[in-house]
Amino acid sequence: MTDWTNQTEQAREWFETLRNRICAAFEEIEREAGSDAAFTYTPWQREEEGNDNPGGGTRGVMKGKVFEKVGVNVSTVHGSFAPQFAATINGASAEHPDFTATGISLVAHMANPHVPAVHMNTRFLTTQKSWFGGGADLNPPIPYEEDTRDFHAVLKAACDAHGADYYERFSKWADEYFYIPHRGVHRGVGGIFYDHLDCGDMAGFDANFTFTRAVGEAFLDAYPRIVRRRMDHEWDAADRQRMLEWRGRYAEFNLVYDRGTLFGLKTGGNVDAILMSLPPQAAWS
């Protein structure tokens, strides 16, 4: 099997660079709103019995005037899946449970109900196979067609530059994935979701890494503009209640259906980092 150590390091470096740029952009928005809020960073180390190099990550969280709670995590972990869980992972099995994973995960819950919450995640995994996955989706308590259109347009441009069918496939995948069956509703207004972009050789790695970087750049282009467009809108108690109830649906999805939550919990990740996606407040009617 190919040694993907160098490729994992390339991906890790990109995810950390993207994290730094996103956090700086979000802090700049807080300054524009008259807030001195900043990210606090908490490193953590994974533990696995018999593993001298389990890896870890850094959890970044900011609570401000515009961003009620935003978390940006980067982690790089190494280890072995439990046999039953290994059977559910691409390229892994009870006989071949070893894995390496590196990625960035972001969730922002906003103070103003008119500003959409957002999720973005990209990752590189190796088992007996290696692949990229990820995506981004917009989650407005009060949807605006302009915001939805702009967010999708930027993601579509990133997709179109790398695969003629990427946007059609990955936006449909997002609609199917970010769905709450027991509620019969989607989590938000969609985006893109992709997984298992195969890196069986260096040409595959280079192409899929380039696309994954484009997804990160698209997010950094689109989302801050949408935040600035809505962050000064007036809102009332009814708007706030609508947002809190919508956040309850978001929490239900992440705790019941989200693959990333399950992956983190099954691989001994930092619980606070895994659950940073949960909103600071939510309500159920």
| 55-69 pLDDT per residue, tens | 899 999 999 999 999
Label residue 50 by pLDDT band (50, 70, 90). confident
Helix (H) or strand (E) holding 256: helix 237-256
pTM of this prediction? Answer: 0.94
* Within a domain: 249: yes
* Within a domain: 283: no
* Within a domain: 284: no
For 220-242, the DSSP string reads HHHHHHHHHHHTT----HHHHHH
Query: Does position 1 have pLDDT exceeding 50, yes or no?
Result: no
* Within a domain: 113: yes
The CA dihedral of 151, 154, 156, 158, to the nearest 10 degrees, is: -140
Q: For residue 225, what are the domain limits?
A: 5-277
* Total structural domains within the chain: 1
* Within a domain: 10: yes
232: domain CATH number is: 3.40.1500.10
* Within a domain: 208: yes
* Within a domain: 20: yes
Query: Does position 2 have pLDDT exceeding 70, yes or no?
Result: no
* Within a domain: 285: no
Q: Active-site residue numbers?
A: 119
